[in-house]
Every structure is written in C-alpha cells, then in structure tokens.
Amino acid sequence: MNNKRLNVINLHNADYKEVWDIQHSLRDQRIQHQIDDCLLLVTHPHVLTFGKRGKYENLLVSKEVLEQKGISVFEIERGGDITYHGPGQLVIYPIIDLKNHDRDLRGFVENLQNAVVKLLKDHFDICAHNEDGIHTGVWVGNDKIAAIGLSLSKWVTMHGMAFNINTDLSYFDFIVPCGLTDRGVTSISKLKGSPADFDFVTELFIQYFSNLLGCIPFNTDLENLNGTKT
C-alpha cells in the first residue's frame, strides 16, 4: 500500500461543463506536482456525453426532444461511447497520478470496479461483477450499474465512473448505453425496490476505493487542496 493522501472533494450537484473544466485544471496541477491525487464526487443535471468511440446512431431521439427534456450533450475525450448522467447518479472523477501506482491502468480500473462490487455485496446483498477483458464497468446479471470511461495524460487520469444509485433509468431509453444493444442498465433503487441513502453510498465508495488504492482520504474543497512534491 502507498498510504498517500487522497483529496476528496464533494461538489454535490454541479453543471457538467463546470466540472469538466475543473477536471482539466486539476489534472494540469497534478501533472505539475502542485497538488496530491484528487477524487471528485458529483451529481449532474441531465446530460449525455459521447466518448471518443461515440456514434450518433446510438442517440435515439431528436435534438428537439433533448431540448424539451432539458438534456445537454457533450463530446469529450474519455474512452467509450455514449452515456447518460443525471440526478440520483454518483459520478466519480479520480485525478490520480498512476506513476505512483505502478503505471497500472488495468489495475486502477479494477479498483474502481471492485469498490462498487464490494460495497454492493457487503451493504446491499447485491451480487455484482466486472467482466475483465470484455466490457468495462460493473454489472448485475446483464445490466450495468456502473459505467467507466477514462482518459489518461502523462499517466494522470481524468473522467471516471458513473454509479446508478437512485437514477431515473428511463433516461437511458434515449440512447443505446455504451453502444451495447444486448445489455440493460440498473440501479440500487431498482434492485432493492426503494431509494438508497445517497450520502451513505457515497461515503462507502470513498472508503472502499481508498482502501483498494492504498490511499488515505481527506475531505477538502477546491480552495484548500493539499500541495505535493511527489
């Protein structure tokens, strides 16, 4: 274990573009060794994002429908195809220097996935799994409960994972999620039949992910990030 500091910043509900800009700023600072590793946590208003492999045929409704529903659309630099973010979904953006974690991107993705798998099993009796080498993300049966799409610059990560806690899954009907026509989506609330405590699940994720990564989490904000020389 590295036992390095992990700055945990909960942005609560924030606009997608605003947080995208924050990620770019933090990644630049991390590359320049001005801050320690960071974990951003947020819930976005309704938004669709296209990754580098995104195909517009996987968007199933018109621009007019998106405008009526108040859904924004962004083309971004993460991997993957199209996905949805919205209320009730925990979006996790790790700004992590993998040079301090054996330059192991696959292991890092496994840590993200396993944090969700373990907390679902331990606290909700939900048996989830990942599919190494097939499809990224966390699955319950044939349904995805957490989607992953990352970008990497000079070994520093950006973008991350979307975890469906109390998400309104009907918004996924507007897209072919991640471009997979034979798979579905699910959430904790759908599987358990009632809403989960969002803040509780958020804290659980922080604990599990920090342990798997070998870091010590410190709650902070953007104005008080801890400097680093590592």
Catalytic positions:
178
Cα 103 to Cα 55: distance, rounded to the nearest angstrom = 30
For the chain, the residue count is 230
Closest CA to 185 of 143, 126, 229, 156: 143
Structure tokens at 76: 């971004």
- Residues with Cβ < 8 Å from 207, sequence gap 6 or more? 217
In this structure, which amino acid lies at residue 122? D
- Residues with Cβ < 8 Å from 60, sequence gap 6 or more? 173, 174, 175, 176
- What is each CA distance from 185 to 13, 56, 103, 144, in whole angstroms? 22, 19, 31, 5
In terms of phi and psi (left: phi > 0; alpha: psi -120 to 50; beta: otherwise), the region of 221 is beta
In terms of phi and psi (left: phi > 0; alpha: psi -120 to 50; beta: otherwise), the region of 159 is left
Structure tokens at 68: 């009526």
